[in-house]
């Protein structure tokens, strides 16, 4: 597989959330606003890239029988680093994401890519895979968050800026920022992604 394909794979054709349907727990739980969803996406992307690099780099010294504990140690180290850093840099985002920051440890996308890709490929490919999958995850979450936020709350916020506000006159459909809204919007996004892939052939 050439490097470019490795990179774009995660964005559409093998999008972790929309096609592989993994990593749904954070995707559904913290996508109530575009801001939180984007923050979660970036945090998971950082962990994904960093752990991909390290796992790929040590794959030659890793005894096969204990690779999973080693993956977990590496991944949880990066998650804890993200946890501390986010707490220091953006306390509001940290509070909004809550328990879902430490839970990145068990995000299937990260362990899945470690096992299925980084453990079997060189460092450069693993970085590209991490970036591609990370962009796919972040993009999906942000779109999911933006759609839910605009319908459910009448606003779109990103990086703590309010990009759009429909104002007091808009009556938001609260269901969209509640759990059922996440399933509904996700369903439509999966359909849309399928349609786009089909069109492209």
Partner 1 sequence: MSGQVSSGRLSKVFNIAKDALKMGLVLLVICVIAAGALAQVYSITKVIIDKNEAEAEKKKRRDVLPLAARFEEKEIDGKKYILGYDAEDKQVGSIFKAAPKGYSGPIKITVGVAPDHSVSAVIITKLDQTETPGLGTNIVKPKFLNQFKGKKGNEIKLKKDSGTIDAITAATISSRAVANGVKAGWEQYINDLGEKK
Binding mask 100-119 toward partner 1 (x if CB under 8 A, else -) reads --------------------
Near partner 1 by CB under 8 A: residue from 92, 116, 124, 164: 92
Which is nearer to partner 1, 98 or 187 (by Cβ)? 98
Closest CA to 51 of 131, 149, 156, 160: 131
N-terminal to C-terminal alpha carbon distance within the chain = 19
Q: Is the CB of residue 136 less than 8 Å from the CB of residue 15?
A: yes
Near partner 1 by CB under 8 A: residue from 177, 182, 186, 189: 177
d(CA 160, CA 4): 33
Would you count residue 25 as binding partner 1 (CB under 8 A)?
no
d(CA 90, CA 139): 21
Binding segment (CB under 8 A) for partner 1, from list 90-98, 101-109, 116-124, 186-194: 90-98
Q: Is the CB of residue 102 less than 8 Å from the CB of residue 83?
A: yes
How many residues sit close enough to partner 1 to count as binding (CB under 8 A)? 32
State which of positions 26-85 bind partner 1 (CB under 8 A): 32-33, 58, 61-63, 65-66, 69-70, 73-74, 76-77, 80-81, 84-85
Beta strands in 4-143 (DSSP E): none
d(CA 165, CA 66): 51
Binding residues vs partner 1 (CB under 8 A): 32-33, 58, 61-63, 65-66, 69-70, 73-74, 76-77, 80-81, 84-85, 87-89, 91-92, 95-96, 98, 152-153, 172, 174, 177-178
């Amino acid at each position: 597989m050439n490097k470019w394909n490795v990179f774009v794979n995660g964005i559409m054709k093998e999008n972790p959330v929309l096609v592989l349907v993994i990593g749904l727990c954070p995707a559904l739980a913290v996508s109530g606003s575009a801001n939180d969803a984007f923050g979660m996406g970036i945090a998971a992307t950082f962990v994904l890239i960093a752990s991909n690099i390290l796992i790929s780099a040590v794959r030659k010294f890793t005894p096969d029988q204990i690779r999973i504990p080693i993956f977990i140690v590496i991944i949880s180290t990066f998650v804890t680093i993200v946890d501390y850093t986010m707490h220091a840099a953006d306390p509001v985002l940290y509070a909004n994401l809550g328990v879902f920051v430490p839970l990145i440890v068990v995000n299937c996308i990260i362990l899945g890519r470690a096992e299925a890709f980084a453990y079997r490929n060189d460092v450069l490919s693993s970085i590209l895979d991490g970036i591609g999958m990370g962009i796919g995850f972040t993009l999906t979450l942000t779109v999911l968050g933006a759609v839910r936020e605009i319908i459910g709350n009448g606003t779109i916020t990103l990086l703590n800026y309010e990009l759009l506000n429909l104002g007091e006159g808009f009556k938001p459909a609260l269901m969209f920022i509640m759990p059922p809204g996440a399933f509904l919007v996700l369903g439509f996004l999966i359909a849309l992604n399928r349609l786009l892939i089909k069109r492209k052939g």
